[in-house]
Chain A
Amino acid sequence: MEFEHMLFTSEHEWVRFDDESDVVIVGISEYAAKELGDIVFIELPKLGADVDRSEAMGTIEAVKTVADLFAPVSGTVVEVNTALDGQPELVNKSPFEEGWFVKLSMSDRSELDHLMDHDAYQNMIGES
């Protein structure tokens, strides 16, 4: 698992970015998926929706809990992972890859500076 191009929020979302485009992929961490338990349903923002950093943009449901999905950066939704409709378990099985949620086109790249790298995130959740 390549964590070099991944950054994390304190609410357990991750972004995967690259140096060329302004599009980032968003998901939740393995830790978050484990804490939630079996994920049964995901509500994602619509294609074309604008989201603001740190605002709730969707929900993730486990059997007995609901968690908000927060936007790690501000931007516009350019792609939604429709595979999650019928297979929410992808988030549990492959939270960093197949279980991605949306792709955002960033409105302000500098917002990435607010996020932490993998080591810092691991520290935060108490695992190293």
Chain B
Amino acid sequence: MPYTYHTDDDRKEMLQRLGVESEDQLFEQIPSAYRIPGPLPLAAGKTEPETMRMFAEIAEKNRPAATMLSFLGGGIYDHFVPALVRHLAGRPEFMTAYTPYQAEVSQGTLQVIFEFQSHISRLTGMPVANASMYDAASALAEATLMTAKITGRGTVLYPAGLNPRYLAVMKRYATGQGISLQPVPFAAGSGQLDTNALRAQLSPDVAGLIVQTPNYFGVLEQPWTYEADVHQAGALLVACVDPISLAVFRQPGAYGADIVVGEGQSLGNDMNFGGPLLGFMACGEPFVRQMPGRIVSATRDVDGREAYVLTLQTREQHIRREKATSNICTNQGLMATRATIYLSLLGETGLVELGRVCCERAHRLAELVGGCPGFALRFDGPFFREFVVRCPKDAEAVVKAARGDGILAGIPLSRYFGDAARRDLLVATTEKHTEADYERFCSVLRKD
């Protein structure tokens, strides 16, 4: 049997000391009615080469977007993962450690989390960040609960242009807590949140407004134009952001956001078919004690050395139990490690460059696609690395035809926004694409 040490002699000696003949006897503390007599009806074990071969064959049945010309986005992006990130994060010291409760022998993990918190704090412009959440969707859901708890109110407003998969998770969490979610429409022209509609909806029962920027359509919002309205109404402002966009565009800390969440998958993590992802959350000082997730603080040890330790643990489930801010325990530690290394490696210059390149490229692509007969940008609002294109025929048909040429053209919006959006296609680009890729894409779009 793989992965165990015991020799037959070891086993015999141990069993003898315990006064039993076999391991089976140790299971006799379980009444026989509950025990199954023999092995489960599963296949016999395989050797390592056999296992590898089997999975390689299964993998062959996939055509991964990363190896095709793909314009798929919608919250998950195919950015380049530097070799060093994979290599460092793959170290067993990071991979095979667990919750850093014994801080003295977990300084690697703890300092990495501290650096992650620092990176996210700077990116978002918020004072405190936590150690990670499962994904942006659950982070957003927890932020929703937070606003209700902090204000004591029962309604949360969200933009109709919010990522529909995040909305589904928010709805699930909100139901459990009796929170009412209400959409704020977007303006048909810009794709941005309709400010007039928002002002009319800011009732005294509103705990918070969620704004996603860029939103699902790739359009950048203008939260600074209604932040004051939200706060005057006694509600909180929750910003759901794209981390790379913050290298170029206004950070939530600079427009009065109270809580910030987002998806960190694009920070040095593979797409992994949608999981594991990396939710992050940050907030203003007044809300630290309501924030879920682990938080690390810098401190010193008895000899005065710089050190790091989990702090504010009284918020968490292992101490507060049913009164905890959340039930989260295991989070996305290794993905946060990768993101930390990625951001350290890119640094100030690298991330700004990446952000500007993506922005430049997306605008170039939009120009080229818009130049294909029958194709036009659906919204005139400003965008970062993703945009919606109105196609001359059903977007599903465009996608199907492009697939025939080995191209993943994008996400048909009808998948989430119904029949009215059936000619709309969500197109994303990253620094991995070249001008030649764009030309190839356009030549395929031009084909009838």
| Chain A residues within CB distance 8 Å of chain B | 40-41, 61-66
Contacts and interface: CB of A to CB of B under 8 A. Distances in A.
B165 interface: no
A66 B320 CA distance: 7
A41 B313 CA distance: 12
B289 interface: yes
B151 interface: no
Given A64-B314, A66-B323, 6 more contacts: A41-B289, A41-B314, A64-B313, A65-B314, A65-B319, A66-B314
Contacts of A61: 314
Nearest to A68: B323
16 contacts: A40-B314, A41-B289, A41-B314, A61-B314, A62-B314, A63-B313, A63-B314, A64-B313, A64-B314, A64-B319, A65-B314, A65-B319, A66-B314, A66-B319, A66-B320, A66-B323
Contacts of B323: 66
A41 B323 CA distance: 16
Contacts of B289: 41
Nearest to B289: A41
**Interface-central residue, A61, A62, A64, by most chain B CB under 10 Å:** A61
B99 to A, nearest CB: 14
Contacts of A65: 314, 319
Interface in B282-327: 289, 313-314, 319-320, 323
A63 B299 CA distance: 14
Contacts of A40: 314
A66 B313 CA distance: 10
Nearest to A60: B314
A77 to B, nearest CB: 18
Nearest to A65: B319
A100 to B, nearest CB: 22
B389 to A, nearest CB: 52
**Interface-central residue, A41, A62, A63, by most chain B CB under 10 Å:** A63
Nearest to B318: A64
Interface in B262-286: none
B310 to A, nearest CB: 10
A58 to B, nearest CB: 13
A60 to B, nearest CB: 10
* 3 nearest A-B residue pairs (beta carbon): A61-B314, A66-B314, A66-B320
Contacts of A62: 314
Interface string B398-411: 00000000000000
A64 B316 CA distance: 10
Contacts of B313: 63-64
Interface in B170-202: none
Interface in B313-348: 313-314, 319-320, 323
A61 B314 CA distance: 7
A92 B289 CA distance: 22
Nearest to A62: B314
Contacts of A64: 313-314, 319
A65 B318 CA distance: 10
A50 B373 CA distance: 71
Contacts of B320: 66
A62 B312 CA distance: 10
Nearest to A43: B289
A66 B324 CA distance: 11
A78 B140 CA distance: 38
Nearest to B324: A66
B129 to A, nearest CB: 20
A33 B415 CA distance: 59
A40 B313 CA distance: 11
B143 to A, nearest CB: 21
